[in-house]
């Protein structure tokens, strides 16, 4: 999958050959927001969207992501839940409705394209 998370990298003038980076938002208007998250087993996030693409890397634990579509105003599951475990990376496109459930205690690296926002879709 392609994602805006990997766009807008720049090579520092004094950086080593082959290296490019993207700094955090708002220090850079085309940057990303990065969070180190910890979730307890059995917790969850309700259906929601974000304004930009996001990427979650599971450092420890196991989680699931369920995508939804709207049919006549109601949320309907879109496929089977995506299961992510240690070392897995999940991508969610901007505006895609999804919920997350934390099956085991999780440590995550979360990267959001530009400014982060959580938009409830209940």
29-33, 90-94, 114-118: which has the highest mean pLDDT? 90-94
Give percent above pLDDT 70 in the chain.
Answer: 98
pLDDT the model gives residue 84:
98
The Cα 48–Cα 58 span in angstroms is 20
Is residue 28 included in any domain, yes or no?
no
* DSSP for 50-74, written as a single string: -SS-EEEEEEESEEEEEEEEEETTE
Is residue 45 included in any domain, yes or no?
yes
| Dihedral angle over CA of 83, 114, 26, 39, nearest 10 | -10
Q: State the CATH number of the domain containing residue 87.
A: 2.60.120.10
Is residue 4 included in any domain, yes or no?
no
Question: pTM of the predicted model, to two decimals?
Answer: 0.87
Is residue 59 included in any domain, yes or no?
yes
Average pLDDT over residues 105-120: 94
- Number of structural domains the chain divides into: 1
Type and span of the H or E element at 79: none
Pairing of strands 82-85, 89-92: unpaired
Is residue 39 included in any domain, yes or no?
yes
At 1, is the pLDDT very low, low, confident or very high (cuts 50, 70, 90)? low
Is residue 1 included in any domain, yes or no?
no
| pLDDT tens, residue by residue, 71-108 | 999 999 999 999 999 999 999 999 999 999 999 999 99
Is residue 2 included in any domain, yes or no?
no
The Cα 105–Cα 119 span in angstroms is 24
Range of the domain at 93: 33-120
Is residue 10 included in any domain, yes or no?
no
């Amino acid at each position: 999958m392609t994602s805006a998370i990997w766009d807008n990298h720049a090579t520092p003038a004094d950086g080593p050959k082959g290296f490019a980076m993207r700094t955090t938002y708002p220090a850079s208007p085309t940057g990303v927001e990065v969070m180190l998250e910890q979730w307890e087993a059995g917790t969850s996030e309700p259906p929601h969207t974000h304004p930009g693409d996001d990427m979650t890397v599971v450092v420890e634990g196991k989680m699931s992501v369920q995508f939804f579509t709207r049919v006549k105003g109601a949320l309907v599951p879109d496929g089977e839940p995506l299961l992510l475990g240690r070392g897995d990376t999940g991508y969610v496109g901007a505006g895609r409705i999804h919920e997350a459930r934390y099956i085991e205690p999780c440590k995550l690296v979360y990267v959001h394209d530009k400014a982060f926002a959580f938009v409830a879709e209940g």
